């Protein structure tokens, strides 16, 4: 029992990035089947798997809060781990998108809960950034996008649910902080020491803001204008930039941060499929299909690798 309690005490908040990746995969397959007019009967299975994992992680972290509140508060005040707490609210928002075509009532509940929770996280984190006492440039990494820029996800389900003004509010917050944080992060990458190996996978998070921003902007306006194209092609360029470094990432030791590969790839996959749906240009069909195959392979591998790491006590252990 002591061993189980010890592992629970070191159950990391970054586990919720799994849900982001799995929900991204679910939404990607939903979009692909809709666009290509096929039914592979995988939507319900993927949604059930993702929802179940989210509930399990929520229960586990809730038990950690009850039995080891000090450990939770240490994570909450850690300048790096703090940014992973909003993965809980983002998971709810992504699940609300996935549930839109399945059950509007569940989708609406998750969207409201996720939106309120994410706004509170954003206010807290931005306030901590402004009035910090212990943040340094070395703490900056793309995971900082999660609390503030994660707001761009809200309109994707918000518009179909009828929350137009609220959706614009959240979209504006996300775009505002995207520009600010992108500048800070590139400054840190170019003029300071390289990021620790454990955080290297978070570079893929750079893809997510413009890719998700494109999908959200299309929901808000319904028009493929110049700004929409800037968002999509920014995301596509960052995807290419990171994919040509695949050998560098392949050499890294496995950490839970590897799940940072999944959701950003899902975001650019969905954006590419949407581009094909809007333009009917076949190139986007090939890009979307290729990225979907890559995303499916990545998530499958990460699931296997994560289960193996849990069994072999490679995670949920004290960090050194």
pLDDT at 317 over 80: no
Tell me what pLDDT residue 1 has.
47
Tokens 């061993």 -> residue = 3
Q: Is residue 281 part of a domain?
A: yes
Range of the domain at 78: 2-311
pLDDT tens-digit readout, 66-79: 988 898 998 888 88
Over its C-alpha atoms, the chain yields an Rg (Å, rounded) of 19
Tell me what pLDDT residue 218 has.
97
Residue 291 binned pLDDT confidence (cut-offs 50, 70, 90):
very high
Query: Which of the pair, 220 or 148, is modelled with greater confidence?
Result: 220
pTM metric for this prediction: 0.93
Q: Is residue 319 part of a domain?
A: no
Cα dihedral value 252, 95, 231, 216, nearest 10: -170
Q: For residue 93, give the CATH number of its domain.
A: 1.50.10.150
pLDDT at 9 over 90: no
- Residue 149: alpha-carbon gap to chain centroid: 10
Q: Is residue 69 part of a domain?
A: yes
Give me the mean pLDDT over the 245-271 stretch: 90
Looking at the structure of the chain, the number of domains it has is: 1
pLDDT at 320 over 60: no
Residue among 65, 64, 199, 88 nearest 142 (CA): 199
Residue among 76, 78, 96 nearest 86 (CA): 76
pLDDT at 278 over 70: yes
Q: Is residue 82 part of a domain?
A: yes
Q: Is residue 29 part of a domain?
A: yes
Q: Is residue 167 part of a domain?
A: yes
Please give the structure tokens belonging to residue 285: 């069909």
Q: Is residue 296 part of a domain?
A: yes
pLDDT at 264 over 70: yes
Buried-state track 210-239, b at ≥16 Cβ within 10 A, e below 16:
bbbbbbbbbbbeeebeeebeebbebbbebb
pLDDT tens-digit readout, 155-204: 999 999 999 999 999 999 999 999 999 999 999 988 988 888 888 899 99
Helix ranges (H only) for 68-200 are 69-76, 87-99, 104-130, 145-149, 154-158, 164-191
Tell me what pLDDT residue 131 has.
81
Q: Determine the Cα angle at 317 with ends 315 and 320, to 5°.
A: 105
Give me the mean pLDDT over the 227-240 stretch: 97
- Asked if 105 and 161 count as a contact pair (C-beta separation under 8 A), the reply is no
Q: Is residue 316 part of a domain?
A: no
Tell me what pLDDT residue 139 has.
80
pLDDT tens-digit readout, 294-312: 999 999 999 999 999 888 8
């Amino acid at each position: 029992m002591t061993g189980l309690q010890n592992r629970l005490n070191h159950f990391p908040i970054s586990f919720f990035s799994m849900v982001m990746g799995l929900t991204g995969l679910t939404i990607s397959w939903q979009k692909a089947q809709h666009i290509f007019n096929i039914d592979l009967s995988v939507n319900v299975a993927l949604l059930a798997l993702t929802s179940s994992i989210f509930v399990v992680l929520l229960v586990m972290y809730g038990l950690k809060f009850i039995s080891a509140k000090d450990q939770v508060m240490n994570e909450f005040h850690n300048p790096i781990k703090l940014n992973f707490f909003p993965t809980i609210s983002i998971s709810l928002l992504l699940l609300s998108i996935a549930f839109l075509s399945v059950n509007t009532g569940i989708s609406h509940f998750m969207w409201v809960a996720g939106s309120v929770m994410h706004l509170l996280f954003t206010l807290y984190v931005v306030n901590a950034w402004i009035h910090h006492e212990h943040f340094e440039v070395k703490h900056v990494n793309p995971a900082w996008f999660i609390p503030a820029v994660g707001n761009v996800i809200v309109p994707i389900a918000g518009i179909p649910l009828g929350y137009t003004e609220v959706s614009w509010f959240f979209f504006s917050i996300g775009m505002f902080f995207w520009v600010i944080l992108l500048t800070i992060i590139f400054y840190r990458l170019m003029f300071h020491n390289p990021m620790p190996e454990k955080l290297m996978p978070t570079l893929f998070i750079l893809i997510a803001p413009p890719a998700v921003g494109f999908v959200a902007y299309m929901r808000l306006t319904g028009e493929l204008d110049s700004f929409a194209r800037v968002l999509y092609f920014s995301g596509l360029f960052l995807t290419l930039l990171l994919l040509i470094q695949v050998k560098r990432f392949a050499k890294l030791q496995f950490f839970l941060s590897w799940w940072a590969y999944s959701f950003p790839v899902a975001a650019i996959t969905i954006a590419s499929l949407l581009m094909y749906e809007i333009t009917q240009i076949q190139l986007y069909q090939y890009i979307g299909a290729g990225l979907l195959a890559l995303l499916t392979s990545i998530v499958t591998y990460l699931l296997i690798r994560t289960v193996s790491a849990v069994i072999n006590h490679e995670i949920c252990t004290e960090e050194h």
